[in-house]
């Protein structure tokens, strides 16, 4: 099977790489990454995988299957186009928008499957398969790899616990403009080391502002890394706002505090005043209700922590092709075709 891993942003690397690792076990598979050059200037896996910045090269490759964590994939490429999602943030409206680019949706768990099956009945031009989310495979294989690094950090800074602040980049949803004083107050009152790990698309002015904050506070450290997963595994608790990383952290059965989260249902501790952070941190350690809510998230959002998500995805792609063949392209209306061409350009046939 010819496989394309469609990588537009750095956050997608950890999502797609488990498919690379599983796919390369079969010598009959050919795997090629598409890496968006304007958004990923330095591809961390460039010496480990086959990749291209050229959509024309992807077209010439004639893929059988394209795995995409983003919202759009060129309609004129061959292959079954598979949406594998870039997170769990069901409260974000665009999570449920059907843009007609995909032949099938591989969902994370029962909650998402039910929602997309309803949409499949409405639109009648895509399928739904529940597989789990591939980044969970990486977590399964590396869950305990960073414990010694965590302990070294805590020893170095003389702190008891590690806390991660991972806000969203979205200007309308992020807590970054409001949280500085609350974070400083938090590290003064609690015996914690605070890690700042921001989304790759975060505005540079906010990055600069919080880098300066870390430099000015001994109990705050700034992390430059394309992946947040490693630091979620290391952290004892997480602070955020309206980000899909909230659910990823809850799936580790660890507590979360958010500031002004925009969500219909709250399964964690939410505060509305940044200065409430220290008090909230004390509460999350003993609140049994929050523990039960995390268990619900694990059962319904993504119970697939067996390390076999990528395997199910590859089998799902093969099954689709067995039943339908390899699509030559995706049928779209003129507006969607225009959007696809505007985003990725034209190709020579």
pLDDT at 117: 97
Using CA atoms, how far apart are residues 298 and 118, in angstroms rounded to an integer?
A: 22
User: For the chain, what is the largest distance between any 2 Cα atoms, rounded to a whole number of angstroms?
Assistant: 63
- pLDDT for position 310: 98
pLDDT, mean of residues 39-46? 87
Q: What domains sit in the chain, N to C, each tagged with a CATH number?
A: 2-133+305-344 (3.40.50.2000), 145-301 (3.40.50.12580)
Taking residues 305-312, report their average pLDDT.
96
Cβ within 8 Å of residue 144, ≥6 positions away: none
Q: What is the DSSP letter of 15?
A: H
Banded model confidence at residue 17, pLDDT cuts 50, 70, 90: very high
**pLDDT of residue 170 exceeding 90:** no
Q: What is the pLDDT of residues 127-140, one digit of tens each?
A: 999 999 999 999 99
**Average pLDDT of the residues in 332-339:** 91
Query: Residues 221-274: pLDDT tens digits?
Result: 999 887 888 999 999 999 999 888 899 999 999 999 999 998 888 999 999 999
Res. 318 pLDDT band, cuts 50 70 90: very high
Tell me how far apart the alpha carbons of residues 173 and 189 are, in angstroms, rounded to a whole number.
Answer: 27
Percentage of the chain lying above the pLDDT 90 cut: 82
Sheet of 30-35: strand order equals 51-52, 30-35, 2-7, 65-68, 80-83, 104-107, 127-130
Where are the alpha helices (H) located in the chain, listed in sequence order?
12-23, 55-61, 110-123, 135-142, 147-157, 180-189, 204-216, 229-234, 245-250, 277-284, 288-301, 309-324, 334-344
pLDDT tops 90 at residue 283? yes
Q: What integer pLDDT is reported at residue 55 of this predicted model?
A: 96
Closest CA to 260 of 173, 341, 333, 323: 173
């Amino acid at each position: 099977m010819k496989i394309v891993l469609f990588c537009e942003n750095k956050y997608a690397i950890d999502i797609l790489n488990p498919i690379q690792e599983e796919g390369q076990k079969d010598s009959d598979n050919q795997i090629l990454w598409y890496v968006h050059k304007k958004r990923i200037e330095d591809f961390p896996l460039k010496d480990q995988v086959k990749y291209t910045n050229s959509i024309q090269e992807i077209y010439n490759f004639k893929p059988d299957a394209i795995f995409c964590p983003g919202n759009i994939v060129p309609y004129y490429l061959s292959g079954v186009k598979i949406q594998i999602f870039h997170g769990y943030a069901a409260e974000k409206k665009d999570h449920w928008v059907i843009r007609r680019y995909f032949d099938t949706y591989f969902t994370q768990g029962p909650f998402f499957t039910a929602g997309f099956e309803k949409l499949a009945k409405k639109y009648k031009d895509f399928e739904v398969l529940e597989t789990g989310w591939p980044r969970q495979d990486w977590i399964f294989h590396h869950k305990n790899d960073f414990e010694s690094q965590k302990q070294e950090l805590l020893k170095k800074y003389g702190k008891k616990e590690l806390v991660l602040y991972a806000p969203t980049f979205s200007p309308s949803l992020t807590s970054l403009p409001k949280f500085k004083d609350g974070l400083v107050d938090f590290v003064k009152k609690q015996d914690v080391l605070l890690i700042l790990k921001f989304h790759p698309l975060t505005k540079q002015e906010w990055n600069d502002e919080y880098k300066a904050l870390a430099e000015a506070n001994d109990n705050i450290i700034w992390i430059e890394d394309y992946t947040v997963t490693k630091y979620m595994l290391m952290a004892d608790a997480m602070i955020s706002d309206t980000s899909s990383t909230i659910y990823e952290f809850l799936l580790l059965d660890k507590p979360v505090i958010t500031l002004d989260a925009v969500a219909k249902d709250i399964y964690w501790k939410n505060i509305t005043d940044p200065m409430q952070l220290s008090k909230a941190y004390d509460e999350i350690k003993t609140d049994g209700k929050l523990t039960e809510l995390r268990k619900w998230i694990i059962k319904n959002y993504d119970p697939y922590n067996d390390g076999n998500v990528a395997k199910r995805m590859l089998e799902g792609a093969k099954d689709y092709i067995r039943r339908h063949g390899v699509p030559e392209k995706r049928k779209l209306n003129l507006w969607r075709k225009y959007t696809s061409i505007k985003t990725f350009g034209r190709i020579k046939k």
